[in-house]
Amino acid sequence: MPIIVNLDVMMAKRKMSLNELSEKVDLTLSNLSILKTGKAKAVRFSTLEAICKALDCQPGDILEFRDDQ
């Protein structure tokens, strides 16, 4: 899939654990893990907004499009 999720990169930059982010955005660890590993098929804008607020970043810091043809 050409959409790359860089959630782990932003979490490392902010020195935030998956548990801490899970509490701040009110998502289960399993759902956050699915998103972090790039296995999610979709993400709600409300979820993306909550993650961006918690990590003090922009959506483009988390999501990246790569067209490796």
- CATH (one of 1.50.10.10, 1.10.10.10, 1.10.260.40, 3.40.605.10) for 3-61: 1.10.260.40
pLDDT at 39: 92
- The residues spanned by each domain of the chain are 3-61
Write 9-13 long-range contacts (CB < 8 A, 24+): 10/55, 10/57, 10/61, 10/62, 11/36, 11/55
pLDDT tens digits, residue range 12-39? 999 999 999 999 999 999 999 999 998 9
> Are the CB atoms for 34 and 14 separated by under 8 Å?
no
Q: What is the pTM of this model?
A: 0.90
